[in-house]
Structure 1
Amino acid sequence: MSTPRTLTLPHGVHPVTLETDRGSFATLTAVPEIGTPLGTVLLVPGWTGSKEDFTPLVDHLCRYGWRTVAVDQRGQYETTGPADKSAYSLAELGADVVAMSKALGGFSQLVGHSFGGLVAREAVLTDPSVFSTISLMCSGPGAFTDEQTLQSLQMLAFGLENLPIDQVYDLKLGHDREVPGYVAPPEDVAAFLRTRFTSNVPLSLAEITRRLTDAEDKTDQLAKSGVRVQVLHGETDDGWPIPVQHAMAAALGVKAEVVPDAGHSPAIDQPAATARLLVDFFHDYPSLATQVD
């Protein structure tokens, strides 16, 4: 879960409902105020996350000239979803992202953060023709393999199906507070985190949690998709092990890029540096040290 530093939206970033042939999706959208956009960047958040995980990145990418759209997936925070397990397979979630890209005109630069990377990959494999690139940010090749992590995820999924979601959040928060280095967020951000978690469709969050325990490794299929791929992660990312991400990058024929002084949420920790790595990849030239001021 990413923790926003502030809930104030930058100038030019607005809540917009994206209408698609698979339903409506809540977004944070920014469009350059001058000139024709260079294209569209579509940002897909991860497990227990939301479009707000990208707020500062939306601003930076827009300032580089890109129309930028961060979404809530089905059943996630401000996007509704059905109480149906089958609705939350990777195939269904990926088809949603395909529909989003088509609604935005196609040829999107697709960015998936963490679990969102698995969804983004599924979207590309479903219909590569509507994506120009895919960037896997702090994501991995498939399910987690660490036994302790798997047990924690399975327990959370069980709790979401058998307890009120508010109670599940309290249990999770209690666990998080015991992690060394935990820093309590400001009161308004803490309230947002609770609201966001408890606004999820419980079955959606349970099924997404299970996808982190059973997702198939489709790295080889992605490598053959014909869509250019980028792999990047924060310097101290604590999601998928960094060697696993680097091995995935090698299998995709690329070198993993590192965002300095960032953890599992580089879009929040270092939005300017993250934006620069992304736009350099979109334009297909080596990254420079210069950042947006």
Structure 2
Amino acid sequence: MSTPRSLTLPDGVHRATLETDRGSFATLTAVPQIGTPLGTVLLVPGWTGSKEDFTPLVDHLCRYGWRTVAVDQRGQYETPGPADPSAYTLAELAADVVAMSEALGGYSQLVGHSFGGLVAREAVLTDPSVFSTISLMCSGPAAFTDEVRVQGLQMLAYGLDNLPIEQVYDLKLQHDSSGPAYIAPPEEIAAFLRKRFTGNVPVSLSEITRRLTDAQDKTDELAKSGVRAQVLYGEGDDGWPLETQRQMAADLGVEPQVIPEASHSPAIEQPAATARLLVKFFHDR
């Protein structure tokens, strides 16, 4: 989960609904005010996250001349979703992303953060023709393998299936805040984090949580897709192990891009540096 530093939208970034043939998706969107956009960047958030995880990055990418769209996935925060576990397979989530790119005119520069990287990869494998590039930000090749982390995810999924989501959030916050590295956010941000988590469709969040324990490695398939790939992460990323991300980059035949003074949320922690690395990659041939 990324923690926004501000809930104020930059000038030019606005809330909008993206209509697709697979439903409506809540977005944060920015379009350059001068000239024709260079193209479209589509940003897909991760587990327990939302479009707000990209707010400053949306602004920076737009200033480089790109129409930029950050989305809530189905069942995530302000995008509705069914109470049906089968709706939250990677294949179903990926089909949504394909539909989003098609609705935006195709040829999107696709960026997936954390769990969103697994969805983005599946989208490219579903239909590579509607994407120009894929950037895997602080993401990994497959499910987590660390036993303690996997057990924690399994417990959370069980709680979401059996308890009110508000109670699950309170229990999760109690656990997270007991850690030595926990820093309490300002009251306004804390209220947003609770509203966002409890705004998820519970089945959506429990199934996404399970995908982090059972997703398969499809790096080789992505390498053969014909879509140019990028791997980037914060120097202090505490999601997938850095050696795992480096190996994923090697398997894709690319050099990983490291964002200084950032951890698992570089779009918030270092948006300018993140935007520079993304834009350079978009323009490379």
Q: TM-score of the superposition, structure 2-length normalised?
A: 1.00
CA distance in 2, matches of 1:96, 1:171: 31
Q: Which residue of 1 aligns with 2:216?
A: 216
Q: Which residue of 2 aligns with 1:71?
A: 71
Question: What secondary structure does 2:213 align onto?
Answer: helix
CA distance in 1, matches of 2:33, 2:262: 30
CA distance in 2, matches of 1:259, 1:20: 33
Q: Following superposition of structure 1 onto structure 2, how do residues 53-202 of structure 1 map, counting pairs within 5 Å?
A: 53-202=53-202
Cα-Cα RMSD: 0.5
Q: Which residue of 2 aligns with 1:9?
A: 9
Share of identical aligned residues, percent? 82
Q: Does 1:35 align with 2:19?
A: no
CA distance in 1, matches of 2:144, 2:182: 23
List per-residue Cα deviations over 1:146-197 (Å, max 9, x = no partner): 0000000000000000000000000100111012121111111000000000
Structure 2: gaps of 5 or more residues: none
CA distance in 1, matches of 2:52, 2:25: 14
Greater alpha carbon shift after TM alignment, 94-103 vs 171-180: 171-180
Question: What secondary structure does 2:47 align onto?
Answer: coil
Q: Which residue of 2 aligns with 1:229?
A: 229
CA distance in 1, matches of 2:205, 2:17: 21
Q: Which residue of 2 aligns with 1:275?
A: 275
Q: Which residue of 2 aligns with 1:45?
A: 45
Residue 230 of structure 1 and its aligned partner are, at CA, apart by 0.1
2:281 corresponds to which letter in structure 1?
F
Task: Count the aligned residue pairs.
Answer: 285
Question: What secondary structure does 2:125 align onto?
Answer: helix
1:51 corresponds to which letter in structure 2?
K
List per-residue Cα deviations over 1:224-278 (Å, max 9, x = no partner): 0000000000010000000000000000000111000001000000000000000
Consecutive aligned runs of 4 or more in structure 1 exceeding 6 Å deviation: none
Structure 1: gaps of 5 or more residues: 286-293
CA distance in 2, matches of 1:241, 1:181: 18
1:231 corresponds to which letter in structure 2?
V
CA distance in 1, matches of 2:179, 2:26: 32
CA distance in 2, matches of 1:176, 1:261: 22
2:124 corresponds to which letter in structure 1?
V
CA distance in 2, matches of 1:9, 1:186: 17
